[in-house]
């Protein structure tokens, strides 16, 4: 099986897109700046293991959500 530069480039392009979209999606729920989270994921694709570690960190981070300090009625 021949692996040429075009195939490697296409694989990297798809990897960058997938990591960027996943970083943005997780960043929407887990951070207050999802665009920055997505861009950081894309830049970390230079070294794919770092991008995967970054996605795991985002995945296991607690959600940023509505505070529960308001009294519950009912």
The count of structural domains within the chain is 1
Is the pLDDT at 73 greater than 80, yes or no?
A: no
Whether residue 16 lies inside any domain: the answer is: no
Whether residue 12 lies inside any domain: the answer is: no
Whether residue 9 lies inside any domain: the answer is: no
Q: Per-residue pLDDT tens for 30-66?
A: 999 999 999 999 999 999 999 999 999 999 999 987 5
Whether residue 39 lies inside any domain: the answer is: yes
Task: With residue 35 as reference, give the H or E element that holds it.
Answer: helix 34-43
- Which pTM does this prediction carry? 0.78
The C-alpha angle with vertex 50 and arms to 26 and 29, in degrees rounded to 5, equals 10
Question: Between helices 34-43 and 5-30, what is the axis angle to 10°?
Answer: 150
The C-alpha angle with vertex 53 and arms to 35 and 48, in degrees rounded to 5, equals 85
Q: What is the mean pLDDT of the chain?
A: 88
């Amino acid at each position: 099986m021949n692996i040429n530069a075009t195939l490697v480039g296409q694989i990297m392009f798809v990897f960058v897109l997938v990591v960027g979209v996943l970083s943005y999606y997780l960043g929407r729920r887990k951070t207050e700046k999802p665009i920055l989270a997505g861009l950081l994921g894309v830049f970390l694709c230079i070294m794919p293991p770092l991008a995967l570690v970054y996605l795991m960190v985002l995945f296991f981070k607690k959600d940023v959500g509505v505070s529960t300090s308001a009294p519950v009625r009912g």
